[in-house]
Each structure stands twice: as C-alpha cells, then as structure tokens.
Amino acid sequence: MPSVALGTTFSGPNNETFKTTDFLGQGAFGEVYRAVGETSGTVVAVKLLPLGALASPESKIALLNEIRTAQRIKHPNVVQMLHVNDGTASQIGPYVVMEYVSGGSLANVLRAGTQIPLERAIDMMIDIAQGAKAINEKLIHRDIKPDNVLIEGSKLKIGDFGISKFVDESTRLHTFKGRQHIWYMAPEGWANQANTIKIDVYSVGLVFYEILALQNPLLPHVADPTDFLDWEKAHLYQPCPDVRTSRNDVPLSIAQLLSRMVSKRPDDRPYWDEVLNVLSQPSVVSGTTKNPTITAAVEAAVARKEQEKRKELELLAQRDKRETQLDLYRYSCAALLAQLDPVVEQFNQEFQYGQITRREEAGIIFYHIPQCHSIQVSFFRPPDSPMKVRNGEVIGGGWIGLSQGISANVVLLKHGADDLYGRWSICEIKISGIVNPPSLIGQFGITKHTVEPFGFKAEYFYEQMQYVGMAHVFNYFFSDDVTGFFAKLIHESCKIGNPVG
C-alpha cells in the first residue's frame, strides 16, 4: 500500500509545488509516484528515500551527496535527476524528483518475446552505451538491468543511478532471493572486490545479449533463477556462449564485443569509447563486401579464444572448489580437536600432580600428559577424490595415538551431498589372523614396535582404506566414539608411565 495519499503536495525544481497523481510502484529502495507541477504542468516522477533503512548517519549523507552528484549528469540517454530533498520541512519525508519517462521499461519489451530487428537492436545498444558512459564519467551505476532502462519514444534512458549501491546496505539483513540484480552482477561484485566502471560494462554486456537473443546467456546454467548461489557460480565460472548461436544475423564484430564485455576479468572488458566505436561501424549493418579468407581467419581465432576461455574457467572452478573443500576440512579438523577438550578438562580437574597441555609443532598436535607418554594427533591432506566406505565417502583422515603404544586412524566420512563437514569416526586397524604378523614388518609403516590396534600413517592411509569391508591382510574396526578412544589413550599413557629416554 502506498504511504503517501494522492493529491499530497511537495516542493520540486525551482521551488514549484508539485502534487502526486498516481502511485507507480514500489522499487528496491522506495515508493515511486507520478506528480504534476501546479504552475508549469510538468509531469515528474518522485521517489521516496527511506533513509531510516540505512545503518548510519554517514550512509545517509553519502546517499544524498551521490544523488546530488547524479543531478549534474545531463544526457539524452540518462533519466535526469531534477531535485532532491533531505526531508527537511517535507510532509512526505526525503525524496528525489526525476524526469518522468512514459514508455515503460526495456524489461517489458524483452518479456514480450518478439525478436527486435538488428538495426533497431543496435540503436538501442548505442543508446544504453552512451548513457552508461555519461553516468560513468561521474558515478558507477552498479545495477544496470532491463528494469532500469526506460523508453521514451525511440530513445532509451538509464535510470536509478546514484542509489543502487545503497540498496545493498538497506537490505543487507535480508536474503538475496528474488533480487533481480544478481542476474547482472559482475564477478568482482560477488568477490567483494573494488568496483570500477567495468562492473557496469559487464552488466550492460548481459543486457545487450538479452536485446539480441531475448534471454540472459547465463540463465541455462542456473537451476533456480531466484537463488543467489546458483547465480554466483554462473557469473564466476560459466562463459557466455557466442550470441550468434541464438541469433545468426549478428555481425562477428558485435559477437566479439559482447564476449569481451562479459569477460570475467575486468581488465579484459572494453571501455565505452571502444564499445561505441564497434557498434557505430557502418559495416555492422550495411553488408559491406569483405575478404572471406580474412573473415574465416578471424572466426577461427575467435573460436580458439573462446575455447581457451572455457578451459580457464573450468580450471578456476576446480581450484575454487578445492579451496572451499579445504576450508571446510580445516573447520572439521578444528571441530574434532574441540571434541577432545572436555576430556582434557576433566583430567586436569581431577589430577592434582600436573596438567595436560597442548602444543602444535610441524603440523602435529601434541597432548603432553604429566610424567607420561604424549598423545599425538595429525591430519592428512584430503583425498583427490572421495572413496566409498561404510555407506559414506572418505573426505579426510588422520592419525591419533601414542608414539610407543596403541593408535588408530580418524576418518572423516561424508553422508550425502548436503553433509558439507562430514563426521569423524575412529578406525582401529588389526592384522588379519590369516597373516603372519612378522611378514608385514617393513611394509605399510609396520615395525617390530607396532602395537595393535594401530593406525596407518599418511602415505598408506587412503590406499589401504579402499579395502574396508573386503577380505584383506588387515581388519578394520570402526567406532563413532572419538572422545572415548582419546580417553582410552590417556588411560594407556598413564599405565605406561614415564617415557624412556
């Protein structure tokens, strides 16, 4: 429901009194009304600014300053900001008065699903590029999308600039779901890197794809169009296809231009002068005769470049996935050590002759027990690929035990795709009764001092875990009671007493 009654008056440009006549809708950052000047009859759009949604007085001042900067942008392809009021002596609160554009948005045109003739599509792209260039000379828009491109006759105008970066702040406690700008957000926006005008070049490149092909080129890679995680993966790792796969009358020069505009690296994207130069080439629509051999050579070079780009993004996706998995694994390792803390605390409360202390050296965690052997815990690097064990997948492992006594492996098992962190189990290894134990000395890390149960060290762990559940030289005994085994190690250490040497 609109918060301002129709017929409400407010002060606008040149101190003229304006009256609200229609409620136009609720945007991401405030209500929008149509209003008419009582003296001039000028029709304007007025947007309310909910400054109370911003976190700090500094943010409010920054927003008003940015809108005042936007007022200085005067260009036929930009919706002009006419007046701003900070809420002082205003019955409708803070607001901004803008040029009223009557022809609807580019989004409405694209939703109609009718292919736009190539010459008209190029004119539309030139309008958007000229408007974006004018804006970027003073501001970064940060939210160019079809909804923010308005139509007046045959001319396109970019609106809602000077506000969009504050939308993120005013909605930061809410989910990203349903926020359309995620369809057009550049990779550096997802990575929280510094914003430059190249973030707008990327968004406009995607809008150009839609003008020509009537679909966001990344949409086929998104399972749920409202899910920001799906869009993040698409923007970071999925290349946009050659627009000519959807529309074969697009010139090669424009196909290359769009591919560069949506490059994942900001430095690989062109500046607006080059965008406009390519779009304005007479040969784009005139059908000028060209050497077919050179055209074929360019096509081959473009295809090779696109293939290299796909391979690079695949490698980047694999690397980032690996880094994410390592972060989750480190968390799981820390969680395992935290499980052992209550056991240590209980011992320290009950034993009056010293305390168990913990230190880490060269990646090994030592639990020093007073006048007894230390317990050691070490974690192995996660496997290159998971292996199936006990209805789960092994995604990590480690060793826990006494240097001169019993030991075991800790095994991190993942059960299902939604189990990000996995669960730790203890696996005690014993030599099978069908094998003569001395025959294994010197193999699998076994020495004459090995005590059963034992755990494999890193170089043998993943190789031997694949035999769980099979007839093998070793028997594997699993338990989910990790803290119970740790307590058992403390008990064994105390029974052994002072370490020799």
Give mean pLDDT, residues 323-352: 92
Contact 78, 135 (CB under 8 A): yes
Q: Which residue has the higher pLDDT, 492 or 403?
A: 492
In the prediction, which pLDDT does 67 show?
82
Three-state SS string over 158-184 comes to ECCCCCHHHHHHHCCCCCCCCCHHHHC
Q: Exposure pattern of 139-161 as b/e (b: 16+ CB <10 Å)?
A: bbbbbbbbbbbbbbeeebbbbbb
Q: Which residue has the higher pLDDT, 371 or 146?
A: 146
Identify the domain containing residue 147 by its residue range.
104-286
Distance CA 79, CA 115 (A): 26
Give mean pLDDT, residues 397-408: 94
Confidence of residue 176 (pLDDT cuts 50, 70, 90): very low
What CATH number does the domain containing 158 carry?
1.10.510.10
78 and 164 in a common domain = no
Domains in the chain, number: 3
In the prediction, which pLDDT does 292 show?
82
Q: Exposure pattern of 421-434 as b/e (b: 16+ CB <10 Å)?
A: ebbbbbbbbebeee
Q: What is the pLDDT of residues 98-139, one digit of tens each?
A: 999 999 999 999 999 999 999 999 999 999 999 999 999 988
273 and 126 in a common domain = yes
129 and 71 in a common domain = no
Domain assignment present for 306: no
- At which of 60, 80, 100 does a domain end? 100
252 and 386 in a common domain = no
Q: Which residue has the higher pLDDT, 313 or 45?
A: 45
Cα–Cα nearest to 283, from 259, 258, 247, 252 = 252
108 and 44 in a common domain = no
Distance CA 330, CA 326 (A): 6
Domain assignment present for 300: no
What CATH number does the domain containing 23 carry?
3.30.200.20
Which residues lie closer than 8 Å to 449 by C-beta, 6 or more apart?
404
Contact 211, 161 (CB under 8 A): no
Confidence of residue 419 (pLDDT cuts 50, 70, 90): confident
134 and 84 in a common domain = no
Contact 413, 423 (CB under 8 A): yes
In the prediction, which pLDDT does 228 show?
85
Q: Is the pLDDT of residue 172 over 80?
A: no
- At which of 100, 118, 153 does a domain end? 100
Give bridge partners of residue 430 from the DSSP assignment: 475
Which residues lie closer than 8 Å to 288 by C-beta, 6 or more apart?
282
Give mean pLDDT, residues 471-498: 92
266 and 376 in a common domain = no
Domain assignment present for 320: no
274 and 336 in a common domain = no
Give mean pLDDT, residues 425-452: 92
483 and 341 in a common domain = yes
Confidence of residue 169 (pLDDT cuts 50, 70, 90): very low
Burial class from Cβ neighbours inside 10 Å (0-12, 13-18, 19+) for residue 488 reads: middle
Domain assignment present for 271: yes
Domain assignment present for 352: yes
Contact 493, 405 (CB under 8 A): yes
Give mean pLDDT, residues 2-29: 87
- Two structure tokens written together for 215: 């679909």
In the prediction, which pLDDT does 259 show?
93
Q: Which of 46-60, 85-99, 127-141 has the lowest mean pLDDT?
A: 46-60
- Which long-range contacts does 355-360 make (Cβ < 8 Å, 24+ apart)? 356/490
Confidence of residue 177 (pLDDT cuts 50, 70, 90): very low
Contact 23, 31 (CB under 8 A): yes
Q: Which residue has the higher pLDDT, 160 or 147?
A: 147
In the prediction, which pLDDT does 173 show?
32
445 and 371 in a common domain = yes
**Angle CA(183)–CA(185)–CA(189) in degrees, nearest 5?**
150
- Two structure tokens written together for 36: 């008419």
Give bridge partners of residue 20 from the DSSP assignment: 35
Contact 203, 158 (CB under 8 A): no
Give mean pLDDT, residues 15-30: 85
Q: What is the pLDDT of residues 208-262, one digit of tens each?
A: 999 999 999 999 999 999 888 899 989 998 889 999 999 999 998 999 999 999 9
Give mean pLDDT, residues 439-455: 93
Question: Which H or E element spans position 43?
Answer: strand 43-48
Averaged pLDDT score across all residues of the chain = 87
Distance CA 268, CA 274 (A): 12
**Angle CA(231)–CA(232)–CA(236) in degrees, nearest 5?**
115
DSSP structure class, residue 372: S
Domain assignment present for 312: no
Give mean pLDDT, residues 421-444: 92
Total residue length of the chain: 501
Confidence of residue 30 (pLDDT cuts 50, 70, 90): confident
In the prediction, which pLDDT does 168 show?
41
Domain assignment present for 203: yes
- At which of 223, 251, 286 does a domain end? 286
138 and 82 in a common domain = no
Q: Which of 15-29, 39-53, 73-87, 486-500 has the highest mean pLDDT?
A: 73-87
190 and 121 in a common domain = yes
Q: Is the pLDDT of residue 2 over 90?
A: no
Domain assignment present for 122: yes
Q: What is the pLDDT of residues 265-307, one digit of tens each?
A: 899 999 999 999 999 986 655 555 677 888 778 778 877 888 8
If DSSP codes are grouped into helix, strand and coil, which group holds residue 360? strand
Give bridge partners of residue 98 from the DSSP assignment: 45, 81
